[in-house]
Structure 1
Amino acid sequence: MQTQLLAEPAAPALSTKPHYAILDGLRGVAALTVVAFHLFEAHATSHLDQRINHGYLAVDFFFLLSGFVIGYAYDDRWEQMTLREFVKIRLIRLQPLVVLGMVVGAALYYFQDSPLWPGISTVPGWLVLVVMLIGCTLLPVPLSMDIRGWHEMHPLNGPGWSLFYEYVANLLYALGARKLSNEALSVLVALTGAALIHFAVTSATGDVIGGWSLDREQLRVGFTRMLFPFFGGLLLCRVARLGRVQNAFGLCSLLLLLVLAFPRVGGPDHLWQNGLYDSLSIILVFPLIVWLGASGQVTGKVAARVCKFFGDISYPLYITHYPFIYTYTSWVSTHKPSWQQALPVALLTFVAAVALAYAALKLYDEPVRRWLRGRFLAAR
């Protein structure tokens, strides 16, 4: 439940600006990695032995990518766009799949009886429906209605927490941050970066994992993880001079996978070292990856199709895959297979998540957004 996904295309649909196809492709690379990370997580005993160990950093990468793309798409549109129109655009882009993700989560909850959490045999159906309806608004569910016992804001679809912070970041941008000068924004980024480093190296677990619970400490984690990368991405968009990078998609994908899959740093006796790795990855490496991706060009039909497909399924995959992970985790906790024994089921779960994401995109998300744009944004 440690990840969040940027849902904004790399340039607005009505814009004549160049489209950052490579950034779209990187969203997909990270989304696919997130699914694998969560599958491995079902077999881990702690943060120390988790495979694809730093997969949770994908959320921070997506926040940074989101800030970059929001700035690119909207910074120069405010003379023709009102706050209300901006909110409409963002809701139409994000909310339909938020609703679908909660519905999928409620439907699969039936199959998730497990020693790890209460299941449908002990939780009333009406309560599951109420939690689903609250989740469809993306408002956090109070702890008194935590039907899974994991202290999640959205116990039917855990990744909803990161979309909650995505909305908060968008509102902060629209209400004030968009007006900041580059100098003032630089100060904000420096302060939030220092806060991120302090949190990471002093964290009790030696990492930046967290943010999905509605309590004081976890809210601190969520805001700390969101503020630097989002506004760092916005600053990067404003001040970076793009170059010309050959084979940028392959290079950026490799760098991103290396960061996310890198083994745990420091071990149990030196937790701060892993916290330092986390914070430096977010502050230094992720901006470099985004700059390289924005500086590259997609050449060839195959590469263009891969980037488009990855970008298209990235958000649907992120927001609908976790109910499958709950179900898979429930199966693992009940049957206790080794990783080798579980591999066929894990692969089936992975394929099912990708298939659902593509079906959700084509059969639901694109038609619904098309209708909503025609209904509420026709003038634009």
Structure 2
Amino acid sequence: MTPQLVSEQTPPALSTKPHYAILDGLRGIAALLVVAFHLCEPLATSHFDQMLNHGYLAVDFFFLLSGFVIGYAYDDRWGRMSVREFFKRRLVRLQPLVVLGMAIGALCFYFQDSPVWPGISEVPVWKTLLVMVIGFTLLPVPISLDVRGWQEMHPLNGPGWSLFYEYVANILYALGVRKFSNTALAVLVALSGAALIHLAVTSPAGDVIGGWSLTPEQLRVGFTRMMYPFFAGLLLSRVVVLAKVKRAFWWSGLLLTLVLVCPRIGTSETVWLNGLYDSLSIVVLFPLIVWVGASGQLTSTGATRLCKFFGDISYPIYITHFPLVLTYTGWVSTHKPTWQQALPVATLTFVSALVLAYLSLKFYDEPVRRWLKQKLG
């Protein structure tokens, strides 16, 4: 979500559409790879030796998946649903875990003192609490309130930046883009795709990494990363012709994994080659992966349970894992371990993130959403 990290279950009273269970599974695969990618980052010396190198593209996949699912779930509801009702549904689905993620980030903050961000112990409590409360709303904090020194719009829980753009995409959809004809939407997607390719190929590092700061350059990255995949996903939901793809979950899951773990393309002198890879992945491969996933059926109980678990856990693990990763990052920066020394701690962090996500889902997110639905009707 986020990027679309959450499942849109369509109420029977509004629609009898089938649910794309395989897309839930793909969302979970991408979320787990994001955690692994973040755990590899502190051990890398540059983009070129970063393991699980293209894990950052999971965010772009989430945006495309989000546009597809939003279009599928809501495009034909507008005669029975107001804009206010749409926003209310999105807030109930997304906001509880945003609040929890920021609270976890604030709680972990004072256990993360390290050479990576010196001076944490000198940050006053009131400033941390203020950043947390602002984070509850997902409004970006100015650089003057950046308690970590990385110029993040959500320094207590970095992945909040993508949820900010998810909300922007939802607002654009509800207030105007939903009314676009397929032709007008295709023009928007084409222009956004051109901007994305230009960004990827011409960026100094040869990738689309960024979007988490309020600086003009980073805002450009964030909006560019959101616009093409989200609205391409929306267009795909409107025009796609599905087929019967056998073993769709395994094929689409394998292709998604290969895209995200692929080593860096090119060298320091040819970084534009990696930009081409990012462009190909977002513009061509991600729509193909979603099409394959939407075209398949789960035929075994094991695969069905796995996809459901992955779908359930995807949003909670995405929005709660990063404070644990930052604690791990502080440990790495202090002790400077080898890969072999870091692996047990990284594994413990990964498992802890998975457990935290499951507990957050069952004992917080689901009960809070049920309560909000009762209160808000």
TM over 0.5, shorter chain: yes
Aligned partner of 1:154 in structure 2 is 154
**CA shift for structure 1 position 47:** 1.2
Q: Distance in 1 between matches of 2:208 and 2:350?
A: 25
Mapped partners of 1:183, 1:57: distance in 2: 27
Which TM-score applies when normalising by structure 1? 0.97
Shift of 1:8: 3.4
In 2, the alpha carbon distance for the partners of 1:135 and 1:4 equals 14
Equivalent position SS for 1:42:
helix
Identity in percent: 71
2:79 counterpart letter in structure 1:
E
Contact kept? 2:6, 2:314, Cα under 8 Å: no
| 1:253-272 paired onto structure 2 within 5 Å | 253-272=253-272
Q: What corresponds to 1:213 in structure 2?
A: 213
Change (3 A) 1:218 1:55: same
TM-superposed deviation, 1:154: 0.4
Q: Please, which moves more after superposition, 58-67 or 115-124?
A: 115-124
Q: How far did residue 4 of structure 1 move? A: 5.0
Counterpart amino acid of residue 54 in structure 1: H
Aligned ranges for residues 1-380 of structure 1 at < 5 Å? Answer: 5-14=3-12, 15-376=15-376, 378=377
Counterpart Cα distance in 2 of 1:312 and 1:299: 19
Moved >6 Å (runs of 4+): none
Residues 298, 287 of structure 1: alpha-carbon distance in 2 compared, 3 angstrom cutoff: same
CA distance in 2, matches of 1:87, 1:265: 40
Report if the CA contact (8 A) 1:10-1:24 is conserved. Answer: no
Corresponding residue SS for 1:45: coil
Does the CA-based 8 Å contact 2:317-2:354 persist in structure 1?
yes
Would the aligned equivalents of 1:7 and 1:93 in 2 still touch at CA under 8 Å?
no
User: How much has 1:173 moved relative to structure 2?
Assistant: 0.2
Preserved CA contact (<8 Å) 1:165 1:222: yes
| Alignment check: 8 A CA contact 1:5 1:318 kept | no
**Distance of 2:324 and 2:368 partners within structure 1:** 24
- Between the aligned partners of 1:118 and 1:156, the Cα distance in structure 2 is 15
8 Å Cα contact 1:10/1:21 also seen in 2: no
1:12 deviates by 2.4
Indicate if the aligned counterparts of 2:5 and 2:62 stay in contact, CA closer than 8 A: no
Deviation at 1:42, TM superposition (A): 1.1
Report the Cα distance in structure 2 between the residues aligned to 1:99 and 1:11, rounded to whole angstroms: 22
- Decide whether aligned partners of structure 1 residues 57 and 355 sit closer, same or farther in structure 2, where only a CA change above 3 A counts: same
Aligned length: 375
Contact preservation (8 Å) 2:245, 2:296: yes
* TM-score of the aligned structures, taking structure 2 as reference length: 0.98
State how far apart, in whole Å, the 2-side matches of 1:122 and 1:329 are: 19
Q: Distance in 2 between matches of 1:22 and 1:286?
A: 14
Shift of 1:169: 0.1
2:206 is paired with a residue of what secondary structure? coil
Deviation, 1:119, is: 4.9
Cα deviation, residue 10, structure 1: 4.5
Check the 8 A contact 1:109/1:119 in 2, yes or no.
no
Q: Distance in 1 between matches of 2:219 and 2:263?
A: 27
State the 1:145 CA deviation: 0.4
Shift of 1:249: 0.6
User: In 1, distance between residues paired with 2:158 and 2:145?
Assistant: 14
Q: Secondary structure at the match of 2:153?
A: coil
CA–CA separation in structure 2 for the residues paired with 1:315 and 1:327: 20
Deviates more, 1:118-127 or 1:309-318: 118-127
8 Å Cα contact 1:115/1:333 also seen in 2: yes
Output one character per residue of 1:142-200: Cα deviation in whole Å (capped at 9) or x when no partner: 10000000010000000000000000000000000000000000011000001111111
